[in-house]
């Protein structure tokens, strides 16, 4: 059996072999057509915003602990979209289009029930290695998320291990008299791509990640797949505790991040269900193609994506080569003229002091760079 089309069995086999002998940037590898997605990686930050009501609710709650439970619910609520949505929409995990430097993805979730409008900008801030920066904001709710995403991949023989590089900071405006803002540092879990030998890749999460707040509380999320403590795929256990004493668990929840999860140790007066991932996700809305700028993702990849969608892979691959050649020429010109590429929406920050401060609770001395949204002139 298997999911690889008969005509592509040989090329899938050599693709797997090249993954095995390759370390680093999988996104730049040429893959058989059946595994190609028409969607660029610059679109993936939109998964963070697909439950705008949960995002807005991060600013609600009577106290810091209740707000942490809301932030945790929003975070868990993003996982189904982030890690299983290609399987749902396209039958398996697919290889995203490898963004060009400066590629943009701009979208929004219009207000529906008083939660306010949520807006998104993402930019490919590095091509080699691929790094995507993003900023999602709901001004009415007083909530924003800023982060960047990169990956380190390795092959283990039957699966690909993906270490996520990067972090995000959620900013929540305080509603008390002094104002000010609370920060939540979000680290990212490790993932593995399973099922590749059969040509039916899917993602499983493993290890743990943290949400560490300037309010003095932290959430720890532990992941397991089939064969671990629950025996079920896509499982997690999350706990909330004071950052200074992570084993003094105040509240905990567990279950499937792609399904239903329940409170194990519930805050008083809470429903037993923590989150039900069967709740509808709201896809980000973008401008019609004719109104998009030339660096906007769907405009850049218009013909390539059309080819992939219609099964015209020759046209797709020709157009992809055209884009890659243009990029090479551009980079050479920049070097020749001494005018390096300038980021449009973000600035690179070599050492993120907010990260350094908040991460020290779980990892002393750790440091990371980041990308900050440029101030806008209204």
The contact set with ligand 0T9 (CB under 6 A) reads 26-27, 35, 44, 47, 82-83, 93-96, 149, 151, 162, 164, 193, 196, 201
CA–CA separation, 304 and 321 (whole Å): 10
Choice between 33 and 149, CB closer to ligand 0T9: 149
Q: At CA 29, angle to CA 24 and CA 30, rounded to 5?
A: 170
Phi, psi values for residue 72, rounded to 5°? -60, -40
Element (H, E) at 261: strand 260-265
CA–CA separation, 78 and 202 (whole Å): 17
Residue 274 C-beta: closest distance to ligand 0T9, Å: 21
Number of CB atoms found within 10 A of residue 206's CB: 14
Q: Using omega within 30 degrees of 0 as the cis cutoff, is the peptide bond preceding 252 cis?
A: no
Dihedral sign computed on CA atoms, order 330, 99, 297, 350 = negative
Residue 52 C-beta: closest distance to ligand 0T9, Å: 17
Residue 147 C-beta: closest distance to ligand 0T9, Å: 9
Which residues lie across from 152 on neighbouring strands? 163
Choice between 82 and 118, CB closer to ligand 0T9: 82
Q: Looking at beta carbons, which residue is closest to ligand 0T9?
A: 95
Residue 26 C-beta: closest distance to ligand 0T9, Å: 4
Choice between 11 and 164, CB closer to ligand 0T9: 164
Choice between 252 and 304, CB closer to ligand 0T9: 304
Tokens standing for 378? 């209204």
CA–CA separation, 101 and 131 (whole Å): 9
- Measure CA 61 to chain center: 26
Tokens standing for 327? 């990029």
Dihedral sign computed on CA atoms, order 353, 184, 145, 191 = positive
> Is the separation of the CB atoms in 195 and 92 below 8 Å?
yes
Choice between 45 and 142, CB closer to ligand 0T9: 45
Helix (H, G, I), strand (E, B) or coil at 369: coil
Choice between 44 and 105, CB closer to ligand 0T9: 44
Residue 251 C-beta: closest distance to ligand 0T9, Å: 26
Residue 99 C-beta: closest distance to ligand 0T9, Å: 11
Residue 83 C-beta: closest distance to ligand 0T9, Å: 6
Choice between 16 and 343, CB closer to ligand 0T9: 16
Residue 107 C-beta: closest distance to ligand 0T9, Å: 15
Tokens standing for 276? 């039900």
- Measure CA 241 to chain center: 25
CA–CA separation, 179 and 59 (whole Å): 12
- Measure CA 109 to chain center: 17
Choice between 200 and 250, CB closer to ligand 0T9: 200
Residue 27 C-beta: closest distance to ligand 0T9, Å: 4
Choice between 123 and 214, CB closer to ligand 0T9: 123
């Amino acid at each position: 059996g298997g999911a690889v089309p008969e005509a592509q069995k040989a090329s899938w086999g050599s693709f797997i072999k090249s993954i095995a002998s390759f370390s680093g940037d999988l996104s730049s590898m040429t893959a058989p057509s059946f595994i190609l997605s028409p969607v660029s990686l610059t679109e993936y930050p939109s998964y963070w915003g697909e439950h705008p009501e949960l995002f807005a609710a991060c600013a609600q709650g009577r106290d810091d602990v209740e707000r942490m439970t809301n932030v945790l619910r929003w975070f868990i609520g993003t996982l189904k979209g982030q890690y299983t949505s290609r399987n749902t929409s396209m039958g398996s995990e697919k290889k995203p289009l490898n963004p060009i430097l400066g590629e943009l993805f701009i979208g929004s979730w219009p207000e529906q029930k008083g939660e306010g409008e949520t807006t998104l900008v993402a930019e490919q801030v590095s091509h080699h290695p691929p790094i995507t920066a993003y900023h999602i904001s709901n001004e009415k709710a007083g909530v924003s998320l800023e982060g960047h995403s990169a990956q380190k991949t390795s092959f283990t023989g039957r699966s690909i291990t993906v270490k996520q590089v990067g972090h995000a900071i959620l900013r929540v405006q305080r509603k008390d008299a002094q104002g000010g803002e609370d920060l939540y540092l979000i680290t990212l879990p490790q993932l593995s791509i399973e099922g590749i030998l059969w040509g039916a890749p899917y993602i499983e999460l493993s290890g743990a990640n943290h949400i560490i707040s300037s309010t003095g509380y932290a959430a720890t999320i532990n992941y397991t797949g089939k064969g671990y403590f629950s025996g079920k795929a896509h499982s997690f256990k999350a706990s909330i505790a004071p950052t200074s004493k992570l084993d003094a668990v105040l509240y905990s929840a567990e279950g499937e991040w792609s399904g239903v999860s329940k409170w194990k140790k519930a805050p008083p007066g809470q429903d037993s269900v923590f989150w039900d991932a069967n709740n509808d996700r709201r896809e980000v809305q973008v401008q019609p193609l004719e109104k998009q700028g030339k660096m906007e993702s769907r405009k850049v990849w218009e013909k390539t994506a059309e080819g992939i969608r219609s099964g015209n892979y020759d046209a797709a691959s020709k157009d992809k080569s055209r884009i890659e050649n243009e990029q090479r020429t551009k980079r050479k010109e920049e070097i020749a003229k001494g005018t390096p590429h300038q980021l449009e929406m973000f600035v690179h920050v070599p050492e993120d002091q907010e990260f350094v401060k908040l991460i020290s609770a779980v990892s002393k001395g750790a440091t990371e760079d980041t990308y900050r949204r440029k101030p806008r002139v209204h």
